[in-house]
Structure 1
Amino acid sequence: MNGALSNVWFDRKKIAPTADECIESVDIACEEVGKILREEADSGISKNKIVIGGFSMGGALAYHLAYRFHRDIAGVFSLSSFINKDSIIYQEVKQVKNGLPPLFAAHGGKDPLVLFDWGVDTVKALESLGVSTVFHEFPRLHHELGVQELRLLEEWLSKILNV
């Protein structure tokens, strides 16, 4: 935003695959959202019936939550999202061989903010580390959600949650 501050999930120095992670900020956000997950689990909802995900930075936060702190959830979805090239996520996932939540990812082919190739590279990297992935490209979609994308997500959620 040309140096202007904005309210987002966590701090970023720039929107680029090679940017350093502001891990303290990420961890604070993960702790806050993690409290909600724990409350849900404490209320009787089994964590294998919980899916977390988001759009853009919300998807990035979901990656951190699922693959660093809550690997026992049912799944992860990420829409027009990313993980930085040298993310701590990749380092931690390398140490886990089994039990990683499956991933549904979708990305617009014309996304000018989180470039399509960045989204694809993220999914390929996770897949190479053992994450079961489903990926959908929407060639005409920019940094936005599409109806077909949401329908496919709904189908995937029904399958993952067995509903």
Structure 2
Amino acid sequence: MGGSSSKNMSAPYTVAAQARHSATLIFLHGLGDTGQGWSEAFKQLKLNHIKCVCPTAPVMPVTLNGGFRMPSWFDIRSLHPDGPEDKEGIKAACEILKGLIDNEEKNGISADKVFVGGFSQGGAVALYTALMSEKKLGGVVGLSTWLPLHKEFTQGQKLQANEDIPIFQAHGTQDPLVPPAWGEMTAKLVQTMTKNHSFKTYPMMHTSCPEELEDVKNFLNTLVKE
């Protein structure tokens, strides 16, 4: 099971920059969601120079939910950090994200001005893609997420292009779905590979909150000033 494909995806929800468009954030939603809700959230942030692209994942059966079909970037087979993973699906989802990055480059935004991010499952795809990327990217926003296929990485591993990539990672301290320990373990590993990683927690469950979104806005605005 797995194997995401862009062929059966709808057009992404897009939020235009408030002023001159000089950077792009591609943000992937979590399991069973769509890009619409996150596009509304980013619309409220009123980012001056950053366009936000919020795609919706292909619909596929999800093992953890008894094979029920829903928007999903890859199959979820276990909630254990050492459980089986949908390697094929994860890598296929990364190709979808790479295609969206390529689209931005075709439209005049260089890869180093493209930020990738996501919530939960979407954040997992964004984080894995950035750490494996051969292109230098602008940064990563990972909310309530984890690093999939973490055994492919080692402590202090040298990244292909993103050794200095800015990463903002955040997690709810009461998250019952993606345990805070997953976020902490991910942060500790990623911090050995990149010099510019921050990890912040909030008193919430598997969701987002205004304080977190304001921190995301500040993270992005610090990196994109015009």
Q: TM-score, normalised by structure 1?
A: 0.88
CA distance in 1, matches of 2:166, 2:101: 18
Distance apart, 1:130 and its partner CA: 2.8
Alpha-carbon contact 2:85-2:149 (below 8 Å) kept: no
Distance apart, 1:159 and its partner CA: 0.9
Give runs of aligned pairs for residues 121-136 of structure 1, distance below 5 A.
121-136=185-200
Residue aligning to 1:152 = 215
Distance apart, 1:124 and its partner CA: 1.1
47, 51, 69: which one aligns with 2:133: 69
* Partner-residue secondary structure (3-state), 1:125: helix
CA distance in 1, matches of 2:161, 2:133: 15
53, 70, 82: which one aligns with 2:146: 82
Q: After superposition, what is the alpha-carbon deviation per residue over 1:12-71, rounded to whole angstroms, capped at 9, x for unaligned?
A: 211221123321111111112211110111111011111110000000000121111254
* Partner-residue secondary structure (3-state), 1:94: coil
Give runs of aligned pairs for residues 25-36 of structure 1, distance below 5 A.
25-36=89-100
Q: Which amino acid aligns with 1:99?
A: N
Q: Which amino acid aligns with 1:67?
A: L
CA distance in 1, matches of 2:81, 2:225: 35
Distance 1:23 1:50, change over 3 A: same
Larger Rg belongs to: 2
1:3 aligns with 2:66: yes
Alpha-carbon contact 2:131-2:159 (below 8 Å) kept: no
Q: After superposition, what is the alpha-carbon deviation per residue over 1:74-96, rounded to whole angstroms, capped at 9, x for unaligned?
A: 100100001247432x2597142
Q: TM-score, normalised by structure 2?
A: 0.65
Alpha-carbon contact 2:87-2:149 (below 8 Å) kept: no
Aligned-residue Cα RMSD (Å) equals 2.2
Alpha-carbon contact 1:19-1:84 (below 8 Å) kept: no
Alpha-carbon contact 1:18-1:86 (below 8 Å) kept: no
99, 104, 107: which one aligns with 1:40: 104
> Which runs of 4 or more aligned residues in structure 1 lie more than 6 Å from their structure 2 counterparts after TM superposition?
none
Gaps of 5+ in 2: 1-63
Q: Indicate the structure with greater helix content.
A: 1
CA distance in 2, matches of 1:42, 1:92: 35
Gaps of 5+ in 1: none
Q: Indicate the structure with greater strand content.
A: 2
Q: Which amino acid aligns with 2:98?
A: G
